[in-house]
Amino acid sequence: MIARTAPDRPPLSCASDAPLTGATLEHAPEPRDGMRWTSGTLNAHWYVAALSRQVTGQRPFASTVMEEPLVLFRGTDGRATALRDRCLHRNAQLSEGDVFDGCIGCPYHGWTYDATGACITVPSEGPDATPAIARRVERFPTVEQDGLVWVWLGDPDDASSAPEPFRLPGVGQDGWRSYMMLTEFDGDVTDLVENFMDVPHTAFVHAGWFRKAGMAKRAEATVERTKGAVHVEYFQPDDSIGFSRRLLNPDGAPMTHTDRFFMPNVTRVDYMWGSRRGFVITSQITPVTRDRALVYTCIAFRFGAFNPVARLLLPAYTRIVINQDVRIMANQTANLRRHGGRRFHGTEADVIHRAIESLRDHALAGEPAPPPEPFSTRIAFWM
Ligand code: FES
Ligand SMILES: [Fe+2]
């Protein structure tokens, strides 16, 4: 005789034998096993979820941060709102629905949520009914600045006392021009930060575009790690990069170069010639999954009379250079996925990588102990 087994289907989350009513058919608690919940304190920061112009009062905008699906739109007051992109009813994606009157309607059965996430209409309960019970889809704190919409995935009570999101250098400042580039990358945030702060790769990945391979120049730098940042200052005044001499540094002023990392996901690279010319590349890395990211790169530059021509030429140039990084990061990530885990070997140039990793690993572990001790050191390497 074949024994009957329990059905695979999990039981309804409602209470036992009570008659099934709307009130007893509420959702079970959401599982807390996604990246947002398993990344230590890394969720307690502002992350870019969208460009301001992508978020409107006419249509929903879908975004994913730390594996959390979000839908963004504007309420009647024009403020950006970010809700969990998952209808409470049968879990359809709200981002496939409609935005109207500062609310979003689910495309499946029409449940409607206002900008606070409160469900205000359930069509199956009748046109005049107030919803039988209070239902609310999760809403995430947002901040809008510098043309970006940022979300907070940590404890919402902590958002109001958290430092404001990183301010983009050069944006809106006298003499500066800027533009934003969005790029999807394979790679986790730590590996991407390291790539954006890594000098030795430029002679290979960007050979001929950024630096030339085989020039064998010695570089010295100071590396400083603080509680939440890594600051690298290079001493290579005769260094030159791609286009600098020909177009943008006609005076031949010595170049200064600093690279900075700010926890948990921002890099800032400054190249300046004298005090009046130069450019700053700021990368905000939004983790989509554990090894996929959307990078918001802000290129701000100050080239005096060359500003208009730089605005015309730089986007194509920077797109080529960034795409070269996309390919090398896909290369590295494929191997990390295939073989699992990091087994890196280091050189003196990799002191920078290890300083970045130490801060991110500490946060990833939930900050169980005091942060890594600050240090400052001088390194030398060839590139
Ligand atoms: S799944 Fe959204 S209303 Fe039914
Ligand atoms: Fe690069």
Q: What string of DSSP letters covers 295-351?
A: EEEEEEEE-GGGHHHHHHHHHHHHHHHHHHHHHHHHHHHHHHHHH-S------GGGH
> What's the CA-to-centroid distance between 62 and ligand 1, angstroms?
17
Task: State whether the beta carbon of 89 lies less than 6 angstroms from ligand 1.
Answer: yes
Domains in the chain: boundaries: 22-159, 177-382
Does 211 have pLDDT greater than 80? no
Q: What is the pLDDT of residues 192-210, one digit of tens each?
A: 999 999 999 998 999 876 6
**Fold classified for 22-159:** Rieske Iron-sulfur Protein (2.102.10)
Among 25, 86, 104, 111, say which to mutate for ligand 1: greatest number of ligand atoms within 8 Å of CB: 111
In the predicted model, is pLDDT for residue 375 greater than 50? Answer: yes
Report pLDDT for 93. Answer: 98
| Kind and range of the H or E run holding 363 | helix 351-364
For the Cβ of 108 lying below 6 angstroms from any atom of ligand 1, the answer is yes
Atom of ligand 1 nearest to the CA of 122: 3
At residue 100, the 3 state secondary structure works out as strand
Ligand number nearest to the C-alpha of 135: 1
90 lines ligand 1 (CB under 6 A): yes
Closest ligand 1 atom to 106 CA: 2
Residue 118 DSSP class: B
What is the rounded distance in angstroms from the CA atom of residue 364 to the CA atom of residue 359?
9
- 58 vs 218, residue with greater confidence: 58
Q: In the CATH hierarchy, which top-level class contains the domain 177-382?
A: alpha beta
Q: What is the pLDDT of residue 31?
A: 82
* Residues 334-361: tens digit of each pLDDT: 999 987 778 888 888 899 999 999 999 9
Rounded to the nearest angstrom, the distance between the alpha carbon of 342 and the centre of ligand 2 is 20
Nearest residue (CA) to ligand 1, atom 1: 90
Go through 16-43 and write b for each residue having 16 or more CB atoms within 10 A of its CB, e for each that does not.
eeeeeeeeeeeeeeeeeebbbeebbebb
Nearest ligand 1 atom, CA 111: 3
The Cα–Cα gap between 146 and 165 comes to 10
The pLDDT value given to residue 18: 43
Q: What is the mean pLDDT of the segment spanning 81-88?
A: 97
Q: Distance, CA 16 to ligand 1 centroid (Å)?
A: 24
Report the length, in residues, of the chain.
Answer: 383
Residue 257 phi, psi (nearest 5): -140, 120
Distance 49 CA to ligand 2 centre (A): 23
Q: What pLDDT does residue 11 have?
A: 37
Distance 180 CA to ligand 2 centre (A): 17
- Look at residue 323 and tell me whether its pLDDT is greater than 90: yes
Residues lining ion ligand 2 (Cβ < 5 A) are 325
pLDDT of 214 higher than 80: no
CA atoms within 13 A on the CB side of 209: 16
Q: Compute the distance between CA of residue 346 and CA of residue 353 in angstroms, rounded to an integer.
A: 9
Burial 215-230 (b: 16+ CB within 10 A, else e): eeeebebebebbeebb
Across the chain, mean pLDDT equals 88
Q: What is the pLDDT of residue 169?
A: 93
Q: Above 90 in pLDDT, residue 128?
A: no
Cis peptide before 308 (omega within 30 of 0): no
How far is it, in rounded angstroms, from Cα 169 to Cα 270?
10
Mean pLDDT of 78-97: 97
- pLDDT band per the 50, 70, 90 thresholds, residue 2: very low
Q: What percent of the chain has pLDDT over 90?
A: 71
Residue 218: pLDDT over 70: yes
Report whether residue 104 contacts ligand 1, using a CB cutoff of 6 Å: no
**Pocket of ligand 1 contains residue 106 by CB under 6 Å:** yes
b/e map 170-204, b = 16+ CB within 10 Å: bbeeeebbbebeebebbbbbbbbbbbbbbbebbbe
Distance from the alpha carbon of residue 255 to the mean position of ligand 2, in angstroms = 19
Which residue would you say has higher pLDDT here, 29 or 288?
288
Q: Is the shortest distance between the CB of 27 and ligand 1 below 6 Å?
A: no
Is pLDDT at 19 greater than 70 in this prediction? no
pLDDT at 239 over 70: no
Mean per-residue pLDDT, 47-64? 98
Q: Does ligand 1 lie within 6 Å of residue 111's CB atom?
A: yes
Report the alpha-carbon distance of residue 6 to residue 15 in Å, rounded.
Answer: 19
Alpha carbon of 233 to ligand 1 centroid (Å): 54
Q: Report the separation in Å between the CA atom of 366 and the middle of ligand 2, taken as the mean of its atom positions.
A: 30
Q: Is the pLDDT of residue 370 over 50?
A: yes
Task: Kindly identify the ligand whose nearest atom is closest to the C-alpha of 329.
Answer: 2
DSSP character string of 123-190 = GGG-TTPPPSS--B--EE-EEEETTEEEEE-S-HHHHTTSPPPPPPTTTT-TT-EEEEEEEEEES-HH
CA of 122 to the centre of ligand 1 (A): 9
Ligand 1, atom 3: nearest CA belongs to which residue? 109
pLDDT at 5: 37
Name the residue type at position 320. I
Using 50, 70 and 90 to split pLDDT, how confident is the model at 9? very low
